[in-house]
Amino acid sequence: MTVDDKNIKVLFFGDLVGRPGRFAVRDFLAAIHSDSLAQVEKQVYDFIVANVENASHGFGLTEKNYNELFEYGIDCMTSGNHIWDKKEIFNYIDGADKLIRPFNYPANTPGCGSRVFETENGVKIGVINVLGRVFMSPVESQWTVVKDEIERLKSITPVVIVDFHAEATAEKICFGRFCSELGVSAFFGTHTHVQTADEQIINNMGYITDAGFCGAAESVIGMDYKTSLNRFTTVVPERYDVADSNVVQINAVEVEINSTSGHTVAIKRVFCYTDKSKKEEENEK
């Protein structure tokens, strides 16, 4: 089968939260190649994307963790408003060719807001990361700046993926439909860390409002329950801590895209739990 008539399989991981999220993804990717995880089938993906803005202790991304995630098999790392939380990001982001920061930051912002990747079988994939503006810090309007960039990517490849990092559900749905009309292949919402059950194909574009998160299942969207409770009940600022839990969860979305038309032909949510303590017990036997 030639590149022109091949469908490619893309896996998108929702926000990785801290070490539990990184290790959950590491173990998941190892398991799908060995067929050792009961909840998922053995799979081969052509392209793997993960949102990593919370990957280093819940806030930002260190260079060490960036390199680790690449070694796990992640081809592209998208981000969001927390990408700047680890100040060392400014030392390496311009040379991090797998990492994308939101496109609608001002033009002089370090890093790149979109990139074109190429799979092992020669399919080019454009990826653009975008921030929402409702209940978020002010950035350039995605409605005015993203259209030209999507069209530029479409001039290079028919396969274009958008990670829209936003708070408001209505903004995600509306911007998703807007992107579908521009010929985007797949649109993944991120940021709220709760996987939505609305995966669908809109105007040939794979869509989900939020892909969810990867990390500690016994948590408040990946963060420690007691810390979160104190913040809500006292309204006193307190630093969030990443939750430590034996049970971790994977939230991801799988799409199959025709590499000639750029159309999504299938979409499926991926959701599973893994109990680390039981896994350790099995390894000891």
CATH number reported for the structural domain that contains residue 40 in this entry: 3.60.21.10
- pLDDT computed for residue 1 by the predictor: 36
Looking at the predicted structure, is the pLDDT value of residue 5 above 90?
no
User: If pLDDT is split at 50, 70 and 90, which confidence band does 40 have?
Assistant: low
Mean pLDDT of the chain: 93
Looking at the predicted structure, is the pLDDT value of residue 259 above 60?
yes
Compute the distance between CA of residue 115 and CA of residue 264 in angstroms, rounded to an integer. Answer: 20
Compute the distance between CA of residue 58 and CA of residue 218 in angstroms, rounded to an integer. Answer: 15
- Token pair recorded at residue 106: 């001002």
Q: Please indicate, yes or no, if residue 7 is contained in any of the structural domains.
A: yes
Q: Please indicate, yes or no, if residue 160 is contained in any of the structural domains.
A: yes
Query: DSSP characters for 223-282?
Result: B-HHHHHHHHHH-------B---SEEEEEEEEEEEETTT--EEEEEEEEEEEEHHHHHHH
| Catalytic residue flag (residue 82) | yes
Q: 125 forms bridges with which residues in the sheet?
A: 117
Helix ranges, 5-141 (H):
18-34, 63-72, 89-92
> Which amino acid, 80?
G
Q: Please indicate, yes or no, if residue 234 is contained in any of the structural domains.
A: no
Q: Please indicate, yes or no, if residue 238 is contained in any of the structural domains.
A: no
- pLDDT computed for residue 187 by the predictor: 99
Unique residue bearing structure tokens 């399989």: 9
Looking at the predicted structure, is the pLDDT value of residue 278 above 80?
no
Q: The pTM is what?
A: 0.93
List 57, 82, 165, 263, catalytic entry? 82
Domains held by the chain: number: 1
Q: CB neighbours (10 Å) of residue 210?
A: 24
Q: Please indicate, yes or no, if residue 72 is contained in any of the structural domains.
A: yes
User: If pLDDT is split at 50, 70 and 90, which confidence band does 280 have?
Assistant: low
- Model confidence over 209-225: pLDDT tens digits? 999 999 999 999 999 99
- pLDDT computed for residue 4 by the predictor: 47
- pLDDT computed for residue 284 by the predictor: 45
Q: CB neighbours (10 Å) of residue 98?
A: 17
Domain that holds residue 166: 3-217+245-284
- Model confidence over 64-106: pLDDT tens digits? 999 999 999 999 999 999 999 999 999 999 999 999 999 999 9
User: If pLDDT is split at 50, 70 and 90, which confidence band does 33 have?
Assistant: confident
Looking at the predicted structure, is the pLDDT value of residue 24 above 90?
yes
Q: Please indicate, yes or no, if residue 93 is contained in any of the structural domains.
A: yes
| Closest C-alpha among 180, 204, 175 to residue 190 | 175
- Judged by average pLDDT, the poorest of 46-60, 168-182, 231-245, 249-263 is 231-245
User: If pLDDT is split at 50, 70 and 90, which confidence band does 34 have?
Assistant: confident
- pLDDT computed for residue 282 by the predictor: 52
Looking at the predicted structure, is the pLDDT value of residue 137 above 60?
yes
Q: Please indicate, yes or no, if residue 227 is contained in any of the structural domains.
A: no
| Closest C-alpha among 209, 249, 207, 251 to residue 13 | 251
- pLDDT computed for residue 235 by the predictor: 83
Compute the distance between CA of residue 16 and CA of residue 14 in angstroms, rounded to an integer. Answer: 6
As a whole number, mean pLDDT of residues 40-54 equals 88
- pLDDT computed for residue 36 by the predictor: 58
φ, ψ of residue 176 to 5 degrees: the values are: -60, -45
Q: CB neighbours (10 Å) of residue 262?
A: 21
Buried (b) or exposed (e) across 102-120, using 16+ Cβ within 10 A? bbbbeeebebbbbbebebe
Looking at the predicted structure, is the pLDDT value of residue 279 above 70?
no
User: Does residue 152 contact residue 186 with C-beta atoms inside 8 Å?
Assistant: no
Q: Please indicate, yes or no, if residue 28 is contained in any of the structural domains.
A: yes
